[in-house]
Amino acid sequence: MSDLVRVTKEQDIAVITIDNPPVNALSPGVPEGIVAAVEQAEKDPSVKASVLIGAGKTFVAGADIKEFVKLTSGTRGDDIGILPLLLKVEDSRKPVVVAIHGNALGGGLEVAQACHYRVATPDAKVGQPEVNLGIIPGAGGTQRLPRLIGVERAIEMCTVGKPVRAAEAAQFGLIDRAIEGDLLAGAVAFAREVAGKPIPKTRERSDKLGTPEQNAPIFAAARDNARKKFRNQICQLAAIDAIEAATKMPFEKGCDEERRLFDKCLYSDQSKAQIHIFFAEREVPKIPDIPKETPTIPVNSIAIVGAGTMGGGIAMVCANAGIPVLLKDTDQTALDRGIGTIQKNYAMSVKRGRFTQEYVDQRMKLIKTTLNYEDFGGADMVIEAVFETMPLKKQVFADLDRVCKKGAIISSNTSTLNIDEIAATTSRPEAVIGMHFFSPANVMRLLEIVRGRKTAKDVIATCMHLSKKLGKVGVLVGNCRGFVGNRMFLPYIREAQFLVEEGAAPEAVDKALTDWGMAMGPLAVGDLGGLDVAYRIRKEYRHLEKPGARQPFVEDRLVEMGRLGQKTAAGWYKYDADRRASSDPEIPALLQKWIEESRIPQRQIPAEEIVDREVYSLVNEGARILEEGYALRAGDIDTIYVNGYGFPAYRGGPMWYADTVGLKKVYERVKQFHQQHGVLWEPAPLLKELAESGKTFANFQRVAAQATD
C-alpha cells in the first residue's frame, strides 16, 4: 500500500483514507493505493464493507494536473491510467461507500462514480470541471455520469463544468445520502446498512440513458448551444460526443471513445493554454520578497470613500465576503443613489436566482453609510473610490491620514494615477496601496494590487490574502502609468482606431477580434467605458508620447460631436434603450468625410491582420512591462488579461499566445508593422532578445526585484 492511502478499521468496516495534501489529487500512487486497499478489505473476512474518504479539508480535487503537463511536454511517457483501476474498485465483491466532504471534482467524482454508493456532507461540491482545463472527463466520467443522472444533466455538468452542492446532487441521484454532522460516522453506519446486499455497479446501469428518439433533440440542442456559448472551443463538443457514445455503445467501447476524445483535447493548444492559466492563477500569490509566512493585518471592517458605481460595487464585494462596510459620500443624495444602485443590483441577482432574498437582506445589513470621515476611526482598511483626478485623490488621502487609526490600510481604486504621489500626501506611505478593481466590481474577478515604493510587506500580504477572501484574483503589479492591464490596453485600443482610419469598418475590427475569441471587440469596449474617458487620458498624456508617434483622430471627432458611447446612446455604434448595440448608418459617412480630409490611403484589411495588429500590440507592450519588472511573471500578465479583459482562456493570455505562435514569428511581424506604421511599433527589447535566442516569455525570469515606480 502506498503511504498516500491508508486503511484503518471501524470494527467490521474498513476505512480507506486518501492522504495526499493539499487537495488529495490522484497523483501516481493514489489510485493504485485505493485499489490495493479495496483488495485488502475484500480479502479480510472481518470486513463487510469499506468507506473511502479524504483526509484534510477535501475529498479528491481530481487527477493531478501536473501529470498532464508532463504528458504533453513529453516528460512522462505512459498515460495516466486511472480508468482500469476504477474498474477494479467497481468489481469489488464488498460494497465501497465513498464519503465526500469539500470537493469531489474531475477524477475525484469519477472515483466516486465507480464506488457503489456515495454519501456526502450537504455543502460538499461535486463536479466535472475538466472543461475549465480544456479537457473532458477521462476516467469513465462521460460514461458513468449519464448512467447515474441522465443524459441532459450529464451534458450540463460536463460542458459547463460548474460544480453542484451535494444536497442538490442528492435530489437527482448522484449522491445517495446527504449526511449532517459527523461524515465518517454517518458513512460507516450507511456501509453497515448496505453490507451483504446486492452490489450495484454504475457501469451496468442503463435505466437513465434514454432512447435514441429521446436523446437526438437533446444532443442537437446541446451542440448548438455549445457552439454559441463556447465559440471556437473543442472540449465541450468532445464531451457531448463522449456522452453520446455512452448512449450508443457498450460501456467498454464508450470508454475507448472517451479516451480518444480526451487525448485529442489534452494535446490541443487550447488545453495547454487553459492548464497554463490554472497554474498561472495559483502562482500569482507567490511574491519572491514576501514569503508565505509574512504576517497579515486582520481586516474585519472596511470603509469606502465614494458611493458611485465603483464604490457601490466594491461595497457589494466586501459584504458578499461577510465584511462590514461603511460607505461614505459627500451628500445624502449621492449616498441614497449609491444604496439604491446596490439594492437594484442585488434585486437583479435574486431575480436571476443567484442569491436568495434572505442572503441579500443579510448582506444589506452589513452596509452602513456616513457623511463623516470621523466615523472611519474604527476601520481596518479604507478603499478610496472617488473621481479619477489627482487633486481630488490627494485631498481625500490627506483627510484619511487625519482620521484613520494607526495600522489601518489606506488604499486607492485608481486605475491610472501614480500611487506614490497619492501616498506622499499622507504621513504613512507604508500603509498606502492600490486596489484596482475592474468594473463592474461585483462581477469582474480581477484585482490589480498596486505596490507603491514604500508600501509595507504586511500591507501587500494582507491585500493578497484579502483578494482571495473577496473572491478575486489579486495580481501584484508595479506602479507604472496604467499599471499592467490598462498600460497594455492603451496601444490595443489605439491600434483599433488606426485600423478604422486605414479602411476597416468598425464592425469588421470588432468581429475579427470576437471571432478570434475576445469577449468584446475593442471599439465596443470603448463605447462601454465611455469614449470621453480614453479621450481625456489621450490628451492628458500626449506630452509623454514618443516624438513622431501617430495619433488617432477619428475617435476624438466622435467625442467632440458628443458621441461618447453607451451613455449617450451613440459612439462607434448606436444603442437602444436596453443598451443593445447596432451599426449606425451615420458612421460610414462620417468616417469617409474625416478620412478624406486626412488623406490616409484606404485598403481592405484582412481579419488576420486585424488580429495580429491588435494582439501583438498587447504582446509588445507586455514584453516591456515584463522586462521593466512591473509584472513579476508573464503568467501574471496572462492572468490579468484572462480575468479582467475578456481574453480567451483557451488562448492562454497574450504572452502565452505569443509563445504558442513562436516569438520569432511574432517579432518578425512586429518588425514589419514597425516599418509600415512607425515608431509606436518599435519592438520591445525583450521580445527581440527572446526571439533571437529561441526562448519564451513563459521561461523568462527577471533577476532584479519587482519594479515599483
Q: Which of 447, 472, 470 is nearest to 302 (CA)?
A: 470
Give the nearer residue to ligand 3H9 in terms of CB position, either 132 or 426: 132
63 binds ligand 3H9 (CB under 6 A): yes
38 binds ligand 3H9 (CB under 6 A): no
- Strand order, beta sheet including 177-178: 5-10, 13-18, 49-54, 96-100, 117-120, 177-178
Rounded to the nearest whole angstrom, what is the least distance from the CB of residue 62 to ligand 3H9 in the complex? 3
Chain centroid, CA 147 distance in Å: 31
Rounded to the nearest whole angstrom, what is the least distance from the CB of residue 4 to ligand 3H9 in the complex? 13
Chain centroid, CA 553 distance in Å: 35
CA torsion angle for 586, 587, 588, 591 (degrees, to 10)?
A: 130
568-573: which pairs have CB atoms within 8 A and are 24 or more residues apart? 571/526, 571/527, 571/531, 572/506, 572/523, 572/524, 572/526, 572/527, 572/531, 573/506, 573/523, 573/524, 573/527
CA torsion angle for 74, 76, 79, 80 (degrees, to 10)?
A: -130
Give the nearer residue to ligand 3H9 in terms of CB position, either 107 or 521: 107
Rounded to the nearest whole angstrom, what is the least distance from the CB of residue 33 to ligand 3H9 in the complex? 16
23 binds ligand 3H9 (CB under 6 A): yes
Rounded to the nearest whole angstrom, what is the least distance from the CB of residue 265 to ligand 3H9 in the complex? 10
Give the nearer residue to ligand 3H9 in terms of CB position, either 42 or 67: 67
Please give the C-alpha separations between residue 63 and each of 108, 137, 334, 612, in angstroms, as whole numbers.
Answer: 7, 10, 51, 36
The continuous run of DSSP H or E covering 363 comes out as helix 357-366
3-class secondary structure, 456 = coil
Give the nearer residue to ligand 3H9 in terms of CB position, either 32 or 532: 32
Rounded to the nearest whole angstrom, what is the least distance from the CB of residue 698 to ligand 3H9 in the complex? 16
Give the nearer residue to ligand 3H9 in terms of CB position, either 274 or 412: 274
Give the nearer residue to ligand 3H9 in terms of CB position, either 85 or 408: 85
Stretch that binds ligand 3H9, among 104-112, 328-336, 408-416, 520-528 (CB under 6 A): 104-112
Grid look-up 437583479 returns: 348
Stretch that binds ligand 3H9, among 130-138, 175-183, 231-239, 681-689 (CB under 6 A): 130-138
448 binds ligand 3H9 (CB under 6 A): no
18 binds ligand 3H9 (CB under 6 A): no
Considering only residues 140 to 199 of the shown chain, the ones binding ligand 3H9 according to CB under 6 A are: 141
103 binds ligand 3H9 (CB under 6 A): yes
Candidates 134, 138, 474, 644; binder of ligand 3H9 (CB under 6 A) is: 138
Candidates 4, 7, 13, 25; binder of ligand 3H9 (CB under 6 A) is: 25
Measured in residues, the chain has a length of 709
Q: For 172, left (φ over 0), alpha (ψ -120 to 50), or beta?
A: alpha
Stretch that binds ligand 3H9, among 134-142, 290-298, 560-568, 699-707 (CB under 6 A): 134-142
Pairwise CA distance, residues 233 & 226, whole Å: 9
Candidates 14, 34, 52, 61; binder of ligand 3H9 (CB under 6 A) is: 61
The continuous run of DSSP H or E covering 360 comes out as helix 357-366
Stretch that binds ligand 3H9, among 102-110, 358-366, 427-435, 487-495 (CB under 6 A): 102-110
Candidates 31, 33, 129, 552; binder of ligand 3H9 (CB under 6 A) is: 129
- CB-based closest residue to ligand 3H9: 106
Rounded to the nearest whole angstrom, what is the least distance from the CB of residue 421 to ligand 3H9 in the complex? 35
Q: What secondary structure does DSSP assign to 168-231, as a single string?
A: HHHHTTSSSEE--S-HHHHHHHHHHHHTTSPPP-GGG--TTS--HHHHHHHHHHHHHHHHHHTT
62 binds ligand 3H9 (CB under 6 A): yes
Q: How many CB atoms lie within 10 A of CB 492?
A: 24
Q: For 646, left (φ over 0), alpha (ψ -120 to 50), or beta?
A: left
Rounded to the nearest whole angstrom, what is the least distance from the CB of residue 81 to ligand 3H9 in the complex? 8
Rounded to the nearest whole angstrom, what is the least distance from the CB of residue 130 to ligand 3H9 in the complex? 5
Candidates 2, 33, 47, 64; binder of ligand 3H9 (CB under 6 A) is: 64
Candidates 137, 506, 526, 652; binder of ligand 3H9 (CB under 6 A) is: 137
Determine the straight-line distance between the first and last CA of the chain, rounded to whole angstroms: 55
Q: Please tell me the count of residues contacting ligand 3H9 according to CB under 6 A.
A: 25
Pairwise CA distance, residues 581 & 570, whole Å: 9
Considering only residues 257 to 296 of the shown chain, the ones binding ligand 3H9 according to CB under 6 A are: 282
Give the nearer residue to ligand 3H9 in terms of CB position, either 80 or 383: 80
Catalytic residues: 110, 130
β-partners of residue 53 are 17, 99
Pairwise CA distance, residues 534 & 528, whole Å: 11
Please give the C-alpha separations between residue 257 and each of 140, 264, 570, in angstroms, as whole numbers.
Answer: 10, 11, 51
Q: Which residues bind to ligand 3H9, rule: CB under 6 A? A: 22-23, 25, 61-66, 80, 82, 103, 105-107, 110, 129-130, 132-133, 137-139, 141, 282
